[in-house]
Structure 1
Amino acid sequence: MSSLFRFSSAMTQHPEVEAWLAGRDPMRVVVRPWFDVMRGLGPDVRELLHDGHPTACVEDAAFAYVDAFSAHASIGFYEGASLPDPARLLEGGGKRMRHVKLRWGSPTNEAALRDLLIAAYADMRARVDAGE
């Protein structure tokens, strides 16, 4: 049995994800460009709306998501505990998942966040290839 979080309904450019991202909530505006980065990481990236938030997958294996709240937005990583994070952006103490909080008006280390997204994609691609 796979230890990865898999979604057989993931697809390229899911209409529910697009509708969520098009919402007028200001924090959705903050995370939209980051979800677009996820979409562009490889031809095998698929997406779906899971638990009410856009989730990016390598094929059917989830690697990251975005969510928006009233005071902040989050970019979450399903296997975030195993990612290199020299800029120390990741928060959380669970066994696997970690997230980065984005706050309106606060600077974001965009290069480090992009590196985390690239690492999360590459890590999940390797896990899928290994048959996890």
Structure 2
Amino acid sequence: MDGLFHFPEATRHDAGVAIWMQRHTGELGRIARYWFDVMRGCDNDVRELLHDGHPTACVRDAAFGYVNAFTSHVNVGFFKGAELPDPTGLLQGTGKSMRHVKLRPGEPVDENALRALIAAAWADMDARL
């Protein structure tokens, strides 16, 4: 067992993800769509699916990131986030592996740092495979 979340059913464009995006309107939906699109842009072959009810991005079949919208914020999360470099301290959480960045409408975020985390999560998962 490699400790990764493998989803062989992940596809290039998952219909469930599209429906999730359509259902999440307003500012929270916009934030979630924006950052999931950044994950999709990491590589021409990023795969996706709904896992535990939220959009999840994969390197081949291994999950590296997700977005989820709540009532007042969006999480941009990473399956191996505890092992990612985070020089600006964006990551939150205390789990063994997973970490997330909490985004709230109207609150600034260091976009370059979050883009770097997403790229690092993709590259880390790609190297693990």
Normalising by structure 2, report the TM-score. 0.96
One-letter code of the match for 2:11? M
Within the alignment, does 1:3 sit opposite 2:7 as a pair? no
Q: Map 1:69-88 onto structure 2 (within 5 A).
A: 69-88=70-89
Query: What's the counterpart of residue 106 of structure 1?
Result: 107
1:7-50 Cα distance to aligned partner (Å, 9 max, x none): 11100010110111122253121111110111111123100001
Taking only aligned residues, the RMSD between alpha carbons, in angstroms, comes to 0.9
Normalising by structure 1, report the TM-score. 0.93
DSSP-derived class of the 1:22 partner: helix
Query: Which structure 2 residue ranges, 5 or more long, are not aligned?
Result: none
Identical-pair percentage: 57
**Partners of 1:111 and 1:31 in 2: how far apart?**
16
Q: How many residues align?
A: 128
Query: Which structure 1 residue ranges, 5 or more long, are not aligned?
Result: none
1:68-125 Cα distance to aligned partner (Å, 9 max, x none): 0111110010000000001100000111000000011100110000000000000000
DSSP-derived class of the 2:4 partner: coil
**TM superposition outliers: structure 1 runs of 4+ over 2 Å:** none
